[in-house]
Amino acid sequence: MSSGEPVTYDLANWPPDARGALAEQLADAGIEVRWAVSSFVVPATRRADVDALIARMNGATPTAVTAVAPGWYPDPLREAQWRWWDGAQWTAHVGPAIGSSDRGWFPPRGNREHGARGGGLALAGFVGGQLLALAVVLLAIALGASSRSVVTLLLGEFALWSGLFTACKLAVDRHGSGALRELDLLRPRLGDLGIGSLAALVGRVATLIIAVIVVQLFSFENFARDTSVTNPAGVSILGAIVVSLVVVVGAPFFEELFFRGLVQGVLTRRYGARRAIAFQAVAFGLVHYQIGMTVGQTVLTFSMIMPVGFLLGCLRWRYQRLGPGMAAHALFNAMAVAIMFAVS
């Protein structure tokens, strides 16, 4: 390789925390790096500086880190399990597609695959998104909008989603290559729809059974809620379409990216994949609490949402991608919207 050609370093066998530590040191040193998930490229003129940084990590990483020889490596594009590197660039030759292997529905104990960094960013993004949503809603109300209007709902959701998405983007920018594929946001496949449809049906049937059981424990008044935002008498056809898009399109995308992409990834790195699925499901259920809910409404909401979060977490684990979970989440919500408008 001539002195003018860029140098590629392969970090596929490094633990995630070691990759993150090196990424921070490269940034602090002002070394221009082009990341590709588990590998990065630097100008040949900075090779000595990179080697020196690696040497100073005192054994935290493998010592044999050099330009990558031709061979099969984990696919940096996250489209397959393996991709052929010809010594200078990634080729179109790939191994089995991700998710095509026989993978169980629940991870073995201690598994930490697809761990992610950015727990502080996740918390800040969620809290910041909630506060921004509250501020936007209060401003809309102050300007004369109804707290139950479609406009208020839309503004609040956009504010919340901006916080969640920003946290995800900052996490991959700071601790990786900057690509959201590191959170398993990959190109959707037609098969995701079929998987999602089955999962949504299972989830909807399960939650209906749970709802029937929970309702028996409380009086009916405990579940009565003001649903004027979905009342056909108070919402135009355009408004109903907007509400449907928020619930069926926006929420599944941003919530899956944040909870199953970032949050589950962060928990996986810290506690292992098995606990991560359970913990993120509990968090997913808790964040659906709304101020003003009765005890019955709170119990019903949590008991229905948490199992769905658990199922979506298992989908992310099994298929190593967010597509099936996003499809399931969208179809699950679509059933709820259809029932809501039909009853109204």
d(CA 84, CA 75): 8
The pLDDT assigned to 74 comes to 64
Q: Is residue 20 within 8 Å of 51, Cβ to Cβ?
A: no
Mean pLDDT value across residues 219-233: 52
Residue count (the chain):
344
* pLDDT given at position 109: 81
Report the amino acid identity of residue 27. A
Model's pTM, two decimal places? Answer: 0.70
Q: Is the pLDDT of residue 229 over 60?
A: no
pLDDT at residue 232 in the model: 43
Q: What is d(CA 249, CA 325) in angstroms, rounded to the nearest whole number? A: 13
In the chain, % of residues over pLDDT 90: 35
How sure is the predictor about 209, in pLDDT bands with cuts at 50, 70 and 90? very high
The half-sphere exposure of 146 on its side-chain side, counting CA atoms within 13 A, is: 9
Q: Which residues pair with 94 in a beta bridge?
A: 83
**Mean pLDDT in residue range 99-119:** 77
Taking 70 as the threshold, does the pLDDT of residue 200 lie above it? yes
Q: Where on the phi/psi map is residue 121: left (φ > 0), alpha (ψ -120 to 50), or beta?
A: alpha
Q: State the pLDDT at residue 261.
A: 95
CA dist 68 → 17, 25, 210, 320 (Å): 21, 21, 54, 26
pLDDT band at 230 (very low <50, low <70, confident <90, very high): very low
Mean pLDDT for 53-74 is 57
Mean pLDDT estimate for the chain: 81
Q: What pLDDT sits at residue 233? A: 41
Burial 97-123 (b: 16+ CB within 10 A, else e): ebbeeeeeeebeeeebebbbbbbebbe
Is residue 276 predicted with pLDDT exceeding 80? yes
Mean pLDDT across the stretch 60-71?
51
- The answer, yes or no, to whether residue 31 has pLDDT greater than 70, is yes
Q: Is the pLDDT of residue 122 over 90?
A: yes
Of 268, 275, 291, which Cα lies nearest the Cα of 112? 268
Does 103 or 50 have the greater pLDDT score? 50
- Please check the confidence at residue 76 and state whether its pLDDT lies above 70: no
